Amino acid sequence: MRAVDEDIVGYIVGESKPYSASIVSSRPLMLGEYVEIRYNGIHVIGLVQASISGSYVIDETLSPEDLRRVINIHRGDETTIYYRGYIKILGDPEDLRIPPTPPPPGIEVRRASRKTLSKIFSPEGPQWARIGTLLRNPDVEVRVDLNKVVQRHLAILAMTGMGKSNLVSLLAREILRRGGTCFIFDYHGEYTGLSFQGLPKPNVIKARINPRYLSWQELARIIGVRYGAKNQENIIKKCKDEVDYSSNGGRSYLDQMISCAKREGQLSRRSEIAKASEAVIESIEANRGFLQRIIDDEAKDITEQSVIGTINVIDLTGLASSSQADAVVSHWLGRILEERKSAIWRGSSKIPHPVVTVLEEAHIYLSTERETLTKPRAEHIAREGRKFGVGLIVVSQRPRGLDPDVLSQMGSMAVMRIVQPEDQAHIARASETLTQEILEQLPGLNVGEAILLGHWVRMPAVVKVDHVVEKTSGVDIDAVSEWISSKRHDNTDNRGNAYKR
Ligand SMILES: Nc1ncnc2c1ncn2[C@@H]1O[C@H](COP(=O)(O)OP(=O)(O)OP(=O)(O)O)[C@@H](O)[C@H]1O
Ligand SMILES: [Mg+2]
């Protein structure tokens, strides 16, 4: 009997709704704590979304002297303190439906049992991958549905250093364990060393592309022609058509482009075309060293550089600008989707199984502020990827910079600490599941703590994400230890001549 009483955390008070209720409790409630409520044959789970405490006797209108007296009299007397909470009712534990009637006042609210929580958050089946544990119930595993990541996509959003890339690494490991394939667009080169014991090593791909496989827009961005510079774009378009289908006569692709652009300028009577021709040639010449590194007439199609059943890391660190990275990412996403369409429609493809693509620093490619080549591709994948087995994970520490159309297509979210109200509001506008109450919790989260929402979980989950120790790159640098260690080496050198010159 006593054990049951200890599970009671409080009672329903005031006016409730089928999806929310207030409670008065005998102990402080923890944000993110789950409770169970039973009434009129209904059984529901609730999530504590606000926790308030106050005193019946310590009044803010008291003078400092009176306050001191009151505090002395009531010191240690728990009965003078009250705790209140606001609960979001998530639904019944079986089919997660919101009840038809609200819980009436006076009904007991119990701490959710481990059994109930495990049934909700740790379903069985190969698509369910462990991601961590409930923040307030560390004995309950939280598993996410990887099928839903492919079918409905995912956004991972948080301030810098809060654990986004750690979560990406964890998901990549779980996909790899199941024989799946990922493509990570690695803007900072932090995944190239990611390696899990007993699993295939990552396939690191330097951005090297055969220009013949690029669209003219992609080639224009890589060469450095600005978006909307119409005359220059027309020259690129025309010359690309010509050079793609001509025999090279021993000359490089870039040299052929220069000859063609030069001719276009000379043939035209319009001075703006002559200027545009010069500008195109100048762009190619100015970037030649860099262009030679990524443009390769002999390179195979990118899908032939991919390995199925591994983490393919597309290393974007060698690229000179974000618009070049945009062109490369757009090209990859376009080719991946084409190959998946071919797998479904024709039954033959270089990418025969569903894949997950990960866009780190997604605000660069899916910007609210400017047009990019990746945006329409990502929208296409977000809308149709589920039919062809292409999942998209967008990762960003600047959510307000993310295109709202793409963001609203992301069926699931992992949101970690975010304090900027603008970022919070932008995510809330794009998401049906992110309520004001959840937003208010975001500043209180610590590193590795996340709120999981949407299709990939059965109910919103407040989680401590597992730490992936294999991901060593991207960790915060301990500068002081490095300095001390280097100083020790220097000292040895000075005193003991440990190093030969
Ligand atoms: N779940 C976790 N448990 C413990 N430590 C973690 C966890 N997640 C991340 N960390 C640590 O926090 C630091 C930052 O993590 P991570 O690189 O994943 O953050 P991020 O959000 O991707 O940052 P950035 O915005 O700079 O890309 C790392 O040192 C990492 O080891
Ligand atoms: Mg990161």
Sorted by where each begins, the domain ranges of the chain are 2-112, 130-191+309-467, 212-294
Which atom of ligand 1 sits closest to the CA of residue 167? 18
CA angle 411, 414, 417 (to 5 degrees): 140
DSSP at 409: T
Look-up of token digits 């000359």: 251
Which atom of ligand 1 sits closest to the CA of residue 188? 27
Give every residue of the chain whose pLDDT is below 50, as ranges. Answer: 1-3, 495-496, 498-501
Which atom of ligand 1 sits closest to the CA of residue 168? 18
Helix, strand or coil for residue 70? helix
Cβ neighbourhood burial of 433 (10 Å; 0-12, 13-18, 19+): middle
Look-up of token digits 């010359």: 239
The pLDDT, as a whole number, for residue 278 is 92
**Level-2 CATH architecture, domain 130-191+309-467:** 3-Layer(aba) Sandwich (3.40)
Instruction: Report which protein residue has its CA nearest ligand 1's atom 18.
Output: 163
Counting ligands in written order, the one closest to the CA of 131 is 1
The pLDDT, as a whole number, for residue 474 is 61
Which atom of ligand 1 sits closest to the CA of residue 416? 21
Closest by Cα among 373, 392, 365 to 215:
373
Q: How far is the CA of 47 from the centre of ligand 1 (A)?
A: 26
Closest by Cα among 166, 159, 153, 154 to 400:
159
* Letter string b/e over residues 211-250, b meaning 16 or more CB atoms within 10 A of that residue's CB: bebbebbbbbbbbbbeeebebbbbbbeebbeebeeeeeee
Question: For a pocket test of ligand 1, which of 166, 418, 462 has the largest count of ligand atoms closer than 8 A to its C-beta?
Answer: 166
What is the rounded CA–CA span in Å between residue 36 and residue 459?
14
* Letter string b/e over residues 108-131, b meaning 16 or more CB atoms within 10 A of that residue's CB: bbbbbeeebbbebbbeeeebbbeb
The pLDDT, as a whole number, for residue 119 is 92
Counting ligands in written order, the one closest to the CA of 472 is 1
Instruction: Report which protein residue has its CA nearest ligand 1's atom 14.
Output: 161
Q: Taking CB atoms and a 6 Å cutoff, what residues make up the pocket around ligand 1?
A: 158, 160-166, 397, 447-448, 465, 467, 474-476
- Which residue spans within 59-107 are E strands per DSSP? 81-91
Helix, strand or coil for residue 134? strand
- Which residue spans within 107-187 are E strands per DSSP? 108-111, 128-134, 141-145, 154-157, 181-186
Counting ligands in written order, the one closest to the CA of 162 is 1
Helix, strand or coil for residue 325? helix
Is residue 390 within 8 A of residue 354, CB to CB? The reply is: yes
What is the rounded CA–CA span in Å between residue 442 and residue 418?
5
Q: How far is the CA of 32 from the centre of ligand 1 (A)?
A: 21
Q: How far is the CA of 472 from the centre of ligand 1 (A)?
A: 10
Is residue 283 within 8 A of residue 276, CB to CB? The reply is: no
Distance of CA 29 to the CA centre of its chain: 30
Question: For a pocket test of ligand 1, which of 130, 442, 447, 468 has the largest count of ligand atoms closer than 8 A to its C-beta?
Answer: 447
What is the rounded CA–CA span in Å between residue 265 and residue 283?
15
What is the rounded CA–CA span in Å between residue 218 and residue 237?
10
Q: How many CB atoms lie within 10 A of CB 289?
A: 8
Instruction: Report which protein residue has its CA nearest ligand 1's atom 15.
Output: 163
Q: How many residues does the chain have?
A: 501
Is residue 426 within 8 A of residue 88, CB to CB? The reply is: no
Is residue 305 within 8 A of residue 210, CB to CB? The reply is: no
CA angle 31, 35, 41 (to 5 degrees): 155
Q: How far is the CA of 398 from the centre of ligand 2 (A)?
A: 12
Q: What order of strands is seen across the sheet that includes strand 461-465?
A: 141-145, 128-134, 461-465, 449-454, 412-415, 154-157, 390-396, 355-359, 181-186, 311-315, 203-206
Q: How far is the CA of 20 from the centre of ligand 1 (A)?
A: 34
Q: How far is the CA of 10 from the centre of ligand 1 (A)?
A: 36
Which atom of ligand 1 sits closest to the CA of residue 474? 17
* Letter string b/e over residues 324-345, b meaning 16 or more CB atoms within 10 A of that residue's CB: bbbbbbbbbbbbbbebbbbbee
Q: How far is the CA of 166 from the centre of ligand 1 (A)?
A: 5
What is the rounded CA–CA span in Å between residue 320 and residue 310?
27
Q: Do domains 2-112 and 130-191+309-467 have the same CATH topology?
A: no
Q: How far is the CA of 479 from the centre of ligand 1 (A)?
A: 17
Distance of CA 28 to the CA centre of its chain: 33
Residue type, 49: Q
Q: How far is the CA of 57 from the centre of ligand 2 (A)?
A: 49
**Level-2 CATH architecture, domain 2-112:** Beta Barrel (2.40)
pTM given for the model? 0.85
Closest by Cα among 35, 47, 43 to 11:
35
Look-up of token digits 């209108």: 61
Residues with CB under 5 A from ligand 2 (ion): 164-165
